[in-house]
Amino acid sequence: MPLLWIIVIVVLLGAGGFVLGRQRAIASAGGDARILHSLPNYYGTNVMILAIVPALMVMAVWMVIQPLMIETRVTGMIPEAAIEAAGNRGLVMSDVRRVADGLDTAIAAGALTADEVRDLSTADTDVRARLGEVGVALGSEVSAEVLAAAQSYRALKRTGGLLMTGVVLVLAVLGLAYGSIRTNREFRARNAVEASILAILMLASTIAILTTVGIVLSMLFETFNFFELYPWREFFFGLEWRPSFEGGSDLGLIPLLWGTLYVSFIALLVSVPIGLFAAIYMAEYAGKRMRAVAKPLIEILAGIPTIVYGLFALITVGPLLRDYFAEPLGLGSSSSSVMTAGVVMGIMLIPFVSSLSDDIINAVPQSLRDGSYGLGATQSETVRQVILPAALPGIVGAILLAASRAIGETMIVVLGAGAAAALSLNPFEAMTTVTVKIVGQLTGDTDFSSPEALVAFALGLTLFVITLGLNVLALYIVRKYREQYE
């Protein structure tokens, strides 16, 4: 039975449960709702929750576990020889899955009947040709083992699906029955319902943790696979980045890290002075009207997607820098360069630095300013000698946050910095970054057993660790600073 139908039936059962529970509660009170412990709707909701939630939860768990179990069962059927011939287990399994899906398609298209599929054998049928007729393209001939595995894969999947439908529907009915039996006027329905809602709320708030765990686990797992294929020392200390899909690649992190840090450095060189001065001007000098106009305008920069900045770098800033700086100075003739990406990323970070610094400058108590003015300092002297030193930790935090942004930024560097890994000091040379290479190694058709694809996960983990470290440090500094003046 299709998934949607199971869900619809369960929900309908739940709706029925709501009506039933409500009616039973009112009946048990002899039609006088005031005698009930809770409002009648709570009794209905309680039955509904009991009917729907356990059933759907079992279904979700089942759907995660069933493929894993089928996978292990079916993999056991394939002889070692077949696995060695194909290269690895994953490839054979994906063949099996493709054949099984193909057989499903063939049945759906009416080219084969279910019985024919069960009795199919490679001896008397050309499976690949038969499937080709219904538009299922298979890469290679179907071997007897793969066909047998695919057939049992289908059979297991079918049995599993039937079993799941049965279990889920029975659970829903049981939940409904249990709920309605419990319903009487003494029953504390509201407390029961509220406990379930609280559980749902708690579950929702753990998603954040689950996401982090998911990020770390997914990358750790593949990174370990990568380090089995490629020595970690050469990854962390290698000075060459030369991936080749025929094997024998050099996958050194250093040139990518250098490019990343160089671009980020230029971006900070652009954004920190501009952002900081803009924040100072807004906080200390600008009149109300100027603030009302300029602040939102600068903040628009923060709302523009990074792909827009990337295109800006590609079609405007890159050629501009090349024609007016790089070529006259004899520093290079590439329009994508560290400078291009850095300058554009700097523009992107201006509102980030300025709004963070603005908050921090505004958090400096007025009494410090008044004291300084009272001693005869000018406004700029107050800013330089009183406000900035007082706000310094916060500003450092803001800069660290901006740096973490710059290091993790992808689209601007993909379109602006180039794709060639280089260890060079020339800012007008094309260089590449960690993020560019993650995109490069994982885009398109990738073979997840080769070090050239798996390296992206190691790069991702490195990136995650660096940005996380910067963020934690920055948040710590900012929080510490806030406490100082609260």
Partner 1 sequence: MTDATASQPPVRSLFAEDARTRRRNRAEARFRAYGFAAVVIGILALIMLLISILSNGLSSFRQTYVTFPVDLAEARLDPQGNRNPEEMAAVTTFGYLPVMAMAFIEHVEALGIEHDLSPQEMAAMISGEAPAQLRAMVLENPSLVGQTVTLEMLVNGRIDGYFKGRVTMASAERDNNVTPGQLVLAQALADAGAMETRFNWSFVTAPDASGQRPEAAGLGVAIIGSFYMMLVVLALALPIGVAASIYLEEFAPKNRLTDIIEVNISNLAAVPSIVFGILGLAIFINFAGLPQSAPIVGGLVLTLMTLPTIIIATRASLRAVPPSIREAALGVGASKMQSVFHHVLPLAAPGILTGTIIGLAQALGETAPLLLIGMVAFVREYPAAPLDGLFDPASALPVQVYNWTQRSDPAFVERASGAIIVLLVFLVFMNALAILLRRRFERRW
Please tell me whether residue 95 adopts helix, strand or coil conformation: helix
Q: Which one of 132-140, 240-248, 293-301, 390-398 is the stretch in contact with partner 1 (CB under 8 A)?
A: 293-301
Quick check: 283 and 361 in contact, CB under 8 A?
A: yes
Residue 307's H or E segment, with its range, is helix 306-312
For the segment 183-212, give every residue that binds partner 1 (CB under 8 A).
190, 194, 197-198, 200-209, 211-212
Rounded least distance, CB 71 to partner 1, Å: 10
Residue 314 Cβ, how far from partner 1 at the closest point, in Å?
A: 6
Distance CA 14, CA 21 (A): 10
Among 325, 471, 473, 482, binds partner 1 (CB under 8 A): 471
Piece of 76-84, 122-130, 349-357, 418-426 that binds partner 1 (CB under 8 A): 349-357
Q: Which helix (H) or strand (E) holds 259?
A: helix 254-280
Nearest to 298 by CA among 260, 350, 247: 350
Nearer CB in complex with partner 1: 310/342 = 310
Near partner 1 by CB under 8 A: residue from 221, 237, 324, 485: 221
User: Is position 360 an interface residue for partner 1 (rule: CB under 8 A)?
Assistant: no
Residues 404-433 that bind partner 1 (CB under 8 A): 404-405, 407-411, 414-415
The CA-atom distances, in angstroms, between 423 and each of 148, 239, 335, 384 are 54, 8, 18, 38
Report, in Å, the least distance between residue 465 CB and partner 1.
10
Cβ closest to partner 1, residue 278 vs residue 338: 278
Tell the smallest beta-carbon distance from residue 175 to partner 1 (Å): 22
Backbone angles phi, psi at 250, to 5 degrees: -100, 120
Of 73-81, 140-148, 361-369, 373-381, which part binds partner 1 (CB under 8 A)?
Answer: 373-381
Residues 230 and 312: beta-carbon distance below 8 Å = no
Give whichever of 43 and 312 is closer to partner 1, judged by the CB atom. Answer: 312
Cβ-based nearer residue to partner 1, 31 or 303: 303
3-state secondary structure of 78: coil
435 binds partner 1 (CB under 8 A): yes
Report the C-alpha gap between 115 and 287 in whole angstroms.
Answer: 82
**CB-CB contact of 461 with 223 (8 Å):** yes
C-beta of 112 vs 298, nearer to partner 1:
298
Instruction: Specify the amino acid at residue 376.
Output: G
- Binding-site member from 379, 424, 426, 450 for partner 1 (CB under 8 A): 379
Q: What is the Cα–Cα distance from 68 to 258, expressed in whole angstroms?
A: 42
Contact by Cβ (8 Å): 433, 263: yes
Cβ at position 174, least distance to partner 1 in Å: 27
Out of 113, 121, 159, 316, the only residue in the binding site for partner 1 (CB under 8 A) is 316
Span from 45-53, 236-244, 357-365, 374-382 in contact with partner 1 (CB under 8 A):
374-382
In the complex, minimum distance from the CB of residue 208 to partner 1, in angstroms, rounded to a whole number: 5
Complete DSSP assignment for 5-41:
HHHHHHHHHHHHHHHHHHHHHHHHTTT-GGGSSS-HH
User: Is the CA virtual torsion 111, 115, 118, 120 positive or negative?
Assistant: negative
Applying CB under 8 A, among 33, 88, 475, 484 the residue interacting with partner 1 is 475
Q: How far is the CB of 439 from partner 1 (least distance, A)?
A: 5
